């Protein structure tokens, strides 16, 4: 009898406790005090209980704790709001006195608060809040998997209208937590799910689980999952390298394209080409400043104005150079080299005098920032993608101009045989000027593009001059196609060597490769054939 009574009491107690920890739990004054002043373990345990519940007041208290707004005054827990305060339990306004003490929150607790709030938000928040909460939960589950989180995660996953990404994150989190389960089947399922996710973040988790896993079946699944993740990572790594290679290649191409016209087609070696790029970048910067100043509402559109401005500014400087210096030096390439080097010094110093020696900051328009996430692991920045597209557009434009227009015809004619072209009535001097302006303008466009991804300073051009000459030399003189292949090839080659040897060694390796390559094919990838090759 006695035994049965105690058992009855304990059962009743257990039932009471069950309802107590269940969904209908309300915040009591004792709980509030414990949450505000207890020791860390107690507070965290209580918090996870409360956050799993439905009580809005409890949630508000936790949120206030995270924001350092909880005060304790005469055994009452208050939530302070500027000068006013309300009782956390009853919601009644209370006047804060000097006796009020802050509830202390240490870092461990802060982390727990974040997770607890994420648990609240993921169930009740807006889609954006859900996503943010899912991120926090996923990170928490990966850093410190707690099996106690599993019910929450499952509840969150059971919600009907979840965005894809939120769902993904929650799935990952629940799988990570489930790996801690005592149930072999649950662990097996979790290991399989993690493998299917194919994301870089799951790798350390899988490795960790592999080290502590005793069950053979799970061990096997873990291994398979790990292999799947590694395969996916390798693939996306190669893709990422390929993309950065293409991205670098397109930058090289942009920088070299103008040179391919002035040097490749006209045979003018322009050491100031880099400075024309720099001028294009500065023109972009000026447009950017002007928009900021006078048209802040249309700031996102400034690039559309900057492109023609950069083109025209560089083209104008190019025409001046051609008219004043270079045309007297046709047929004397070494002298042209030195004179244009002199021009480059003057241009650099002019920019330094006008705008200062410091780099200037060019902000990207809003639509260029951010990135695209592919396959979970591969994030491609928008500005890089846009530069590749921009390069293709410029390339197409130049190719069409050279192959389809009358000016292009004249340029090709003068390139192939200047005297005969002159005999046919082509004004070769004018064609020279136009072609040089075109090449310079394209350099300006390159500057406009480069200003979006790097620093803009007086020395900007110096960084590209060696590279762009290498591209033109490698591609072969007088060929746009060669320039394209050379730029992309060098870009990709550079990035792949960089992957295992570092940036500087990659650059050196590429330079040496070019020097050796030129041994074998002194005329570049595409040698000019026929008579024009002799000169």
- Beta pairing, strands 70-73 & 76-81: antiparallel
Long-range contacts of 129-134 (CB under 8 A, 24+ apart): 130/162, 130/163, 130/166, 131/163, 131/165, 131/166, 131/169, 134/165, 134/166, 134/169, 134/170, 134/173
Q: Is 354 in the site for other proteins (CB under 8 A)?
A: no
Q: Binding segment for other proteins among 86-94, 201-209, 285-293, 339-347 (CB under 8 A)?
A: 339-347
Whether residue 130 contacts residue 155, with contact meaning beta carbons closer than 8 Å, is answered with: no
Minimum CB separation of residue 494 from other proteins in Å reads: 13
User: CA-based angle 489:492:493, to the nearest 5?
Assistant: 80
Q: How distant is the alpha carbon of residue 107 from its chain centre?
A: 30
Residue closest to 371 by CA, chosen among 385, 381, 361, 358: 381
Q: Of the two residues 177 and 497, which places its CB atom closer to other proteins in the complex?
A: 497
The one among 167, 210, 428, 462 contacting other proteins by CB under 8 A: 462
Instruction: Kindly write out the interface string for residues 306-325 of this chain, putting x where it contacts other proteins by CB under 8 A and - elsewhere.
Output: -------------------x
Instruction: Kindly write out the interface string for residues 161-200 of this chain, putting x where it contacts other proteins by CB under 8 A and - elsewhere.
Output: ----------------------------------------
Question: Both tokens of residue 422?
Answer: 């002159």
Q: Is 333 in the site for other proteins (CB under 8 A)?
A: yes
Q: Is 355 helix (H, G, I), strand (E, B) or coil?
A: helix
Q: Is 328 in the site for other proteins (CB under 8 A)?
A: yes
Q: Is 90 in the site for other proteins (CB under 8 A)?
A: no
d(CA 535, CA 533): 6
Whether residue 132 contacts residue 121, with contact meaning beta carbons closer than 8 Å, is answered with: yes
Q: Of the two residues 424 and 505, which places its CB atom closer to other proteins in the complex?
A: 505
Whether residue 406 contacts residue 237, with contact meaning beta carbons closer than 8 Å, is answered with: no
Q: Is 429 in the site for other proteins (CB under 8 A)?
A: no
Question: Both tokens of residue 495?
Answer: 């990035």
Contacts of 47 (CB under 8 A, 6+ apart): 35, 62, 112, 113, 116
Q: Binding segment for other proteins among 41-49, 207-215, 218-226, 461-469 (CB under 8 A)?
A: 461-469
> What is the separation, in whole angstroms, between the first and last Cα of the chain?
117
Minimum CB separation of residue 274 from other proteins in Å reads: 10
Task: Using only the alpha carbons of the chain, give its radius of gyration.
Answer: 34
Applying CB under 8 A, the site for other proteins has a residue count of 40
Q: Is 253 helix (H, G, I), strand (E, B) or coil?
A: helix
Q: Of the two residues 247 and 336, which places its CB atom closer to other proteins in the complex?
A: 336
Q: Is 508 in the site for other proteins (CB under 8 A)?
A: yes
The one among 142, 235, 330, 341 contacting other proteins by CB under 8 A: 341
Q: Is 334 in the site for other proteins (CB under 8 A)?
A: yes
Question: Both tokens of residue 111?
Answer: 């982390």
Q: Of the two residues 142 and 513, which places its CB atom closer to other proteins in the complex?
A: 513
Q: Is 424 in the site for other proteins (CB under 8 A)?
A: no
Residue 373 — φ and ψ, nearest 5°? -100, 120
The one among 93, 204, 342, 361 contacting other proteins by CB under 8 A: 342
Q: Is 494 in the site for other proteins (CB under 8 A)?
A: no
Q: Binding segment for other proteins among 25-33, 35-43, 238-246, 510-518 (CB under 8 A)?
A: 510-518
Q: Is 339 in the site for other proteins (CB under 8 A)?
A: yes
Q: Of the two residues 332 and 430, which places its CB atom closer to other proteins in the complex?
A: 332
Q: Which helix (H) or strand (E) holds 73?
A: strand 70-73
The one among 319, 335, 382, 525 contacting other proteins by CB under 8 A: 335
Q: Of the two residues 1 and 516, which places its CB atom closer to other proteins in the complex?
A: 516
Q: Is 335 helix (H, G, I), strand (E, B) or coil?
A: helix
Residues that bind other proteins (CB under 8 A): 269, 271, 325, 328-329, 333-339, 341-346, 348-349, 352-353, 462, 465-466, 469-470, 473, 504, 507-508, 511-512, 514-516, 518-520, 522
């Amino acid at each position: 009898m006695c035994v049965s009574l105690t058992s009855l009491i304990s059962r009743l107690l257990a039932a009471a406790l069950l309802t107590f920890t269940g969904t209908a739990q309300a915040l009591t004054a004792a709980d509030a005090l414990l949450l505000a002043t207890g020791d860390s373990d107690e507070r965290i345990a209580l918090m996870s209980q409360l956050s799993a519940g439905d009580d809005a007041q409890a949630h508000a208290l936790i949120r206030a704790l995270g924001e350092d707004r909880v005060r304790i005054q005469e055994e009452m827990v208050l939530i302070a709001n500027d000068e006013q305060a309300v009782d956390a339990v009853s919601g009644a306004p209370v006047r804060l006195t000097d006796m009020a003490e802050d509830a202390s929150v240490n870092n461990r607790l802060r982390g727990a608060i974040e997770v607890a709030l994420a648990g609240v938000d993921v169930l009740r928040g807006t889609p954006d809040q859900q996503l943010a909460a899912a991120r926090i939960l996923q990170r928490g589950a990966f850093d410190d998997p707690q099996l106690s989180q599993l019910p929450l995660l499952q509840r969150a996953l059971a919600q009907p209208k979840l965005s894809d990404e939120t769902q993904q994150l929650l799935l990952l989190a629940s799988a990570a937590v489930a790996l801690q389960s005592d149930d072999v089947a649950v662990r097996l399922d979790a290991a399989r799910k993690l493998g299917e996710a194919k994301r870089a973040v799951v790798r350390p988790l899988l490795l960790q689980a592999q080290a502590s896993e005793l069950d053979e079946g799970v061990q096997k699944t873990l291994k398979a999952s790990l292999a799947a993740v590694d395969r996916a990572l390798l693939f996306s790594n190669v893709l990422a390298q390929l993309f950065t290679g293409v991205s670098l290649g397109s930058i090289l191409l942009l920088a070299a394209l103008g040179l391919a016209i002035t040097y490749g087609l006209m045979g003018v070696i322009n050491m100031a080409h880099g400075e024309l790029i720099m001028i294009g970048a500065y023109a972009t910067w000026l447009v950017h400043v002007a928009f900021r100043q006078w048209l802040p509402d249309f700031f996102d559109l400034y690039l559309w104005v900057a492109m023609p401005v950069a083109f025209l500014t560089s083209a104008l400087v190019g025409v001046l150079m051609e008219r004043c210096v270079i045309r007297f030096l046709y047929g004397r390439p070494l002298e042209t080299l030195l004179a244009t080097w002199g021009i480059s010094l003057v241009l650099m110093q002019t920019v330094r005098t006008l705008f200062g020696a410091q780099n200037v900051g060019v902000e990207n328009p809003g639509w260029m920032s951010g990135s695209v996430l592919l396959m979970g692991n591969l994030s491609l920045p928008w500005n890089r993608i846009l530069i590749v597209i921009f390069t293709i557009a410029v390339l197409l434009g130049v190719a069409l101009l050279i192959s389809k227009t009358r000016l292009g015809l004249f340029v090709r004619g003068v390139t192939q045989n200047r005297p005969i072209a002159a005999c046919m009535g082509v004004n070769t001097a004018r064609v020279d000027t136009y072609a040089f302006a075109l090449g310079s303008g394209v350099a300006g466009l390159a500057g406009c593009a480069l200003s979006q991804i790097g620093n803009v300073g007086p020395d900007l051009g110096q960084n590209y001059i060696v590279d762009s000459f290498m591209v033109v030399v490698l591609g072969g003189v007088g060929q746009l196609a060669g320039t394209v292949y050379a730029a992309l090839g060098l870009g990709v080659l550079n990035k792949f060597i960089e992957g295992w040897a570092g940036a500087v060694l990659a650059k050196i390796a590429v330079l040496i490769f070019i020097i050796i390559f030129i041994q074998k094919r002194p005329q570049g990838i595409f040698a000019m054939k026929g008579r024009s090759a002799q000169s």
